Amino acid sequence: MNKWSAIIVVVFALLLIGVIAFLARPADVDWAHGFHADQKEPYDTYIFQELIKSNAGEDGFVDVRDSLHSALAAESDSGSNYLFVGNQFHGDDKDVAALLDFVARGNQAFLIANYPGQLLSEVCALDEQSNWEYTEDGSYLLREGELVNTVTDTLLVAYTLDKNEAEHQSKIQCFIDYEPVMHPWNFFNSGIRAKSDGDLRIIGKYDGDFANVLEVRWGSGTLYFHCTPLAFTNWAMKKKSGMGYCRALLSHMNDGKVYWDSENTIMDMMVQQRDQVDSSVTARPGPLEYILSQPALSAAWYFSLLMVLLYLVFAGRRRQRAVRTIRTPSNTSIEFTEVVSQLFLKQKDHRKLVHMKMEMWKSQARERYRIRWQEHSVELDQAELNLWSLRSGVPAATIAQIIEAYQAMHPHNAVETKDMLRLHSLLETYYQNCK
What is the Cα–Cα distance from 83 to 224, expressed in whole angstroms?
10
**Those residues with Cβ within 8 angstroms of residue 110's Cβ, 6 or more apart along the chain or in another chain:** 81, 82, 83, 84, 224, 226, 249, 252, 253
CB atoms within 10 A of CB 412: 10
Decide if 395 is inside a domain: yes
Decide if 323 is inside a domain: no
* pLDDT single digits (tens) 135-151: 444 444 444 457 888 88
CB atoms within 10 A of CB 399: 23
Same domain, 251 and 374: no
Q: Which of 228, 261, 279 is the last residue of a domain?
A: 279
* pLDDT score for 81: 93
Same domain, 270 and 295: no
Burial class (CB in 10 A: 0-12, 13-18, 19+), 405: buried
**CA separation (Å) from 401 to 94, 247, 423?**
125, 102, 9
Decide if 325 is inside a domain: no
Same domain, 305 and 352: no
Same domain, 69 and 163: yes
* pLDDT single digits (tens) 388-417: 888 888 898 888 888 888 888 766 667 777
* pLDDT score for 109: 94
Residue bearing the bigger pLDDT, 17 or 428: 428
Decide if 418 is inside a domain: yes
Q: What angle do CA 171, 108, 85 make, to 5 degrees?
A: 45
Mean of pLDDT values over 5-30: 70
Q: Which amino acid is at 49?
A: Q
Of the candidate ranges 14-18, 109-113, 263-267, 272-276, the one whose mean pLDDT is the lowest: 272-276
What is the Cα–Cα distance from 160 to 240, expressed in whole angstroms?
15
What is the Cα–Cα distance from 207 to 191, expressed in whole angstroms?
18
Same domain, 220 and 92: yes
> What total of structural domains would you count in the chain?
3
Same domain, 112 and 173: yes
What is the Cα–Cα distance from 77 to 431, expressed in whole angstroms?
110
Decide if 34 is inside a domain: no
Same domain, 16 and 117: no
99 in helix, strand or coil?
Answer: helix
Same domain, 214 and 303: no
Helix boundaries (H) for 24-116: 46-56, 68-73, 93-104
CB atoms within 10 A of CB 80: 26
257 in helix, strand or coil?
Answer: coil
Same domain, 298 and 254: no
* pLDDT score for 247: 93
Same domain, 21 and 83: no
Decide if 41 is inside a domain: no
Write down how long the chain is: 435
* pLDDT score for 273: 66
Residues of the domain holding 382? 340-433
Same domain, 356 and 408: yes
Residue 88 near residue 225, CB atoms below 8 Å: no
Decide if 321 is inside a domain: no
* pLDDT single digits (tens) 83-138: 999 988 888 888 899 999 999 999 999 999 998 888 888 888 877 554 444 444 44
Decide if 19 is inside a domain: yes
Helix axis angle for 46-56 and 240-250, nearest 10°, is 50
Strand boundaries in 77-206, DSSP class E: 81-88, 108-115, 124-126, 140-141, 148-153, 155-161, 167-173, 175-176, 179-180, 183-188, 192-194, 199-206
Same domain, 384 and 251: no
